[in-house]
A = this chain, B = another copy of it.
Amino acid sequence: MQKADGMNYAPKGKAAPVVGPGDFPIAAVGLDHGHVYGMSNGLIESGAEIRWAYDPDPDKVKRFLDTYPQAKAARSKQEVLDDPAIKLVVSSCVPYDRGPLGVEVMSHGKDYFVDKAPLITLEQLAAARAKAAETGQKYFVYYGERLHSECSIYAGNLIAEGAIGRVLQVIGLGPHRLAAATRPAWFFERKSYGGILIDIGSHQIEQFMHFADAQDAQVVSSRVANYANKQYPELEDFGDATLTADNGATNYFRVDWFTPDGLGAWGDGRATIMGTDGYIELRKYLDIARDSESDQLYLVNGKEEKRISTHNTVGFPFFGQLILDCVNRTENAMTQERAFRVAELSLIAQQQAIRIEA
């Protein structure tokens, strides 16, 4: 049996449309990572209509159209960009291409929703920031390990209600299954994916800033290593970092490609959020040796220890908020500054990282 890998992890939720049928036509361009299915699911459940799919590789387009038969294959990227009906372009193209595609999309008067990592150099970031400011278009990012995780949404709600007091610290663990044989060539090319702290670290920084309600943060320390995959010299199989937010909250995160084959999910993603009055632990994708169901939330406060199964509770409000942000030009799903600043901090963490040779 092929063990689950993160590449094909595409959560489904309940339909909760925020717009009428046909009101919000979208297109998918660049289908290199399976995340595009999770992104599309979220938007379609929220009322978007997927009209076009484009990728230079016809096999990727075929698989996409098999999943979403309502979409049509575009003959070119330009055909999508030139369709005035399309409000938003969704992409999970190779990370190196994400920034330039976003600039092109925004230049055509459309909003953009791209898989993380959204940008992998500071130059790409500067170009995207400038184009977003110039055009007023939006550059959304799929930081899925919070946005597409029900227990994470639930935790955010609890925190907002004051369930653990002031948030002092967030620890995030983001292990992933390597499944090297299933990975495309670009996955192993540093120039294409940017480095582990950019690639899968960006999730963690977004999660930290959200839970800590931080406006900004600084990278204190970071490390990367290729411990056990030397046959892929440009892969980093380990990375970690500490950050301190402007409000004093602290963060530690570790990301890695060491999920063992015996784990019943692609990764034992965890987050521990410590507040002045209690703490929350998220066991995002399973509860090891206890429960294979995802989205287990543990809350310890002044009164009790409590386990809450959050699967099929709060859903994924991000996607509906994103659509309404496009329609109403608001910033409820995520501010543009947050999306870009998270990318920037992951670039800085990567750039400053101590490389462990061992």
Contacts and interface: CB of A to CB of B under 8 A. Distances in A.
Interface in A259-298: 260-264, 268, 272, 274-279, 281, 288-290, 298
Contacts of A298: 288-289
A169 to B, nearest CB: 7
A274 B270 CA distance: 14
B356 A262 contact: no
Contact of A228 (B166, B173, B272): B166
A247 B358 contact: yes
A305 interface: yes
A131 interface: no
Given A227-B248, A248-B227, A288-B305, A238 B278 contact: no
A227 B244 CA distance: 13
A340 to B, nearest CB: 25
Contact of A256 (B268, B274, B354, B357): B274
Nearest to A357: B248
B358 A261 contact: no
Given A288-B281, A306-B289, A223 B250 contact: yes
Interface in A142-171: 166, 168-169, 171
A276 B307 CA distance: 31
A248 B356 contact: yes
Given A244-B354, A256-B274, A356-B250, A262 B303 contact: yes
Interface string A325-358: 0000000000000000000000000000010111
A199 interface: no
Nearest to A247: B358
B238 A250 contact: yes
Nearest to A239: B250
B221 A242 contact: yes
A15 interface: no
A305 to B, nearest CB: 4
Nearest to A302: B261
A281 B286 CA distance: 14
24 contacts: A166-B227, A168-B225, A171-B173, A171-B254, A175-B274, A220-B354, A223-B244, A227-B276, A228-B276, A238-B250, A247-B358, A250-B356, A252-B254, A256-B274, A258-B274, A258-B279, A260-B302, A262-B305, A263-B300, A264-B305, A281-B288, A288-B298, A289-B307, A290-B307
Given A240-B242, A260-B278, 5 more contacts: A168-B256, A221-B242, A223-B250, A263-B300, A289-B298
